[in-house]
Structure 1
Amino acid sequence: MQRTERIWAEALERGRLALKSGSLVPLETELIPPQGWEPFQLRRLLSATPKHLRAQGPKPNPFRPWDSPLQVRLLGRRHLVLLNKYPVQAGHVLLITQAYQPQSGWLDDGDWAAVALVDADTGGLWFFNSCAEAGASQPHRHLQLLPRHGDQAACPLDGLLRAQLAGAGGPWPWAYRLSPRRPGEGAEALAATYHAHALALGLGEPAGDPRPRHPYNLMFTDHWFLTVRREREHVAGFSVNALGFAGYLLLSKGSELAWLQREGPWALLQAAAAKG
């Protein structure tokens, strides 16, 4: 799938300017050498914990209004592409609704149309945390994209996920659904997979449920679409969002490294996800 990657280029240029003005605050981390947990990547947070992760109770909505120096591109009248203020890599962007929509509500056809529009230009690892219990830090609807070039591995568990689709490895011992994505799939196919996974995992459906019945994470790339039903957000001091199920773990203040060394990352994910 050939892409122009114009949105990614715009995000990098906007990021350069926002970093210079102080609007962008990249998270400083260091990679901890593997200690038997490959292929997972464990990084230690060196920066101060961002305010949006420290705050307890009601939080101000950072997207109403959004920070204009972080705006990458408007997508019609309903969505826009925005730089993540606390990026984990250069070009880390959010796809948000311009008007408030709840993160805990169902993703709708308009959301998937906006995803497809961005995805046709710039691909990579998409992820979505459905609510605070699934690792969402903001209640305003937003999907996230970590851009990738061509057939570059999307995440540390990309190879294992592709192997599962090919009939090798797995299944994992928690509640999840994994489906292949075919080249050129657009909004309708994405929405159909989303709703099929929701039904299979007991999350419900928009026609009968005003909001999903359980917390969940989404991750998808050019090759696969993964939905995980969640049980809890914190395990052994680790905050686990969708990126955990992609193979990225973050060691922050309060995280129990000794627990991870003893039990391993697979036990961490199994404790965070609902039982299969």
Structure 2
Amino acid sequence: MLRADRTIAAALAEGALQPIRTEQDWLEQAGLRFSVRWVSSLALKDRARVDTVTARRPDFNPFLPPEPALTVAPLGASHCVVLNKFPVIERHLLIVTRHFEDQCAPLTAADFAALASVVGAHGGLGFYNGGRIAGASQAHKHLQWIPSGADGVARFLPPLEEGAALDNPALPWAHAVVAVGEADWAGPASAGEAVREAFHRACARLGMPCAATPMPPYNLLLTRAALVLVPRTQEKWKDVSINSLAWAGSLFVRDHAQIDGLRAHGPLAVLTAVGRPR
């Protein structure tokens, strides 16, 4: 993480990285607590999308190659780690394929190994927005990571059973949870294979293909304790975009009116509307 911190400091100094400015509120329902943040960088991200269409060629790809000032380090032969130019949380990292692969393509052994190497070394939460309907903002395949303390996924998990694919009966949306054992993190290769196997078990429980081209939309979350898989049916609830972090209790909005809407409707109903009913 020292290299990431040095890259962050340098990128902020030269303006390549947008600083985070947030306001935070909390919503509670059925004993679950959701963080709701208004993030100024989301508005900047919208502006950047418009600029991409109007000032650059329509097929512009920010990851091919990534900005040098945002590039942290290579990660194996197939990936590199870059800073999220529009971070929603401090130390928000992207794990990007060096060559173009579509965000709706199946995750490969190299993808699982890359994500597992970061989670295994640093803990925190790894996640993947499987396509636009799952909240992905770029078509180039990129996994993501945020540090420990920035998510609350543990409070959504049922009691874990080693090797079993199960769910939390208190949650109204379809999902699967597979425990990842401490022994699985002994090395990057074994960790990547253990995560890949957990993903396959989660897909089987949900009746979802694990290697279709394209894959159906889904959100994937990974900690050192468990893998969580959530199939998706739509990108937004009204005008609020929902990505993987929502299933870890973190929602992001562009203005205070959206917070009022989430509070009135209830976060459990919001997530059920964009997921798949049980």
What do the CA deviations read for 1:72-99 (whole angstroms, capped 9, x no partner)?
1112331111111111233211111101
Q: Distance in 2 between the 1:242 and 1:73 partners?
A: 24
Deviation at 1:54, TM superposition (A): 4.5
Cα pair 1:125 1:147 within 8 Å, conserved: yes
Amino acid across the alignment from 1:230: R
Q: Distance in 1 between the 2:170 and 2:179 partners?
A: 15
- Count of equivalent residues: 260
Deviation at 1:154, TM superposition (A): 5.7
Cα pair 1:125 1:145 within 8 Å, conserved: yes
Percent identical residues:
33
Could you say which residue in structure 2 is the equivalent of 1:268? 270
Cα pair 1:15 1:90 within 8 Å, conserved: no
Could you say which residue in structure 2 is the equivalent of 1:195? 200
Match of 1:155 among 130, 151, 154: 151
Could you say which residue in structure 2 is the equivalent of 1:125? 125
Could you say which residue in structure 2 is the equivalent of 1:13? 6
Q: Distance in 2 between the 1:36 and 1:159 partners?
A: 12
Q: Distance in 1 between the 2:45 and 2:74 partners?
A: 26
What do the CA deviations read for 1:203-230 (whole angstroms, capped 9, x no partner)?
3132xx3222x21000010111100000
Q: Distance in 2 between the 1:53 and 1:164 partners?
A: 42
TM-score where L is the length of structure 2: 0.85
Cα pair 1:164 1:170 within 8 Å, conserved: no
Could you say which residue in structure 1 is the equivalent of 2:90? 90
Amino acid across the alignment from 1:18: A
**CA distance 1:9–1:172, change in 2 (3 Å):** same
Q: Distance in 2 between the 1:121 and 1:143 partners?
A: 16
Amino acid across the alignment from 1:221: T
SS at match of 2:233: coil
SS at match of 2:181: coil
Could you say which residue in structure 1 is the equivalent of 2:179? 180
Amino acid across the alignment from 1:107: L
Cα pair 2:177 2:227 within 8 Å, conserved: yes
**CA distance 1:237–1:92, change in 2 (3 Å):** same
Deviation at 1:180, TM superposition (A): 1.1
**Structure 1 residues not aligned, in runs of 5+:** 1-7
Could you say which residue in structure 2 is the equivalent of 1:217? 219
**CA distance 1:52–1:273, change in 2 (3 Å):** farther
1:227 aligns with 2:222: no
Amino acid across the alignment from 2:254: S
Q: Distance in 2 between the 1:210 and 1:43 partners?
A: 34
What do the CA deviations read for 1:126-166 (whole angstroms, capped 9, x no partner)?
11000000000001111100022xxxx562242231x4437
Root-mean-square deviation (Å): 2.4
- Kindly report which structure 2 residues correspond to 1:91-110, keeping only aligned pairs within 5 A, or say none: 91-110=91-110
1:240 aligns with 2:239: no
Amino acid across the alignment from 1:42: V
**Structure 2 residues not aligned, in runs of 5+:** 185-190
Q: Distance in 2 between the 1:98 and 1:52 partners?
A: 26
Match of 1:22 among 5, 15, 18: 15
Deviation at 1:121, TM superposition (A): 2.2
Deviation at 1:26, TM superposition (A): 2.9
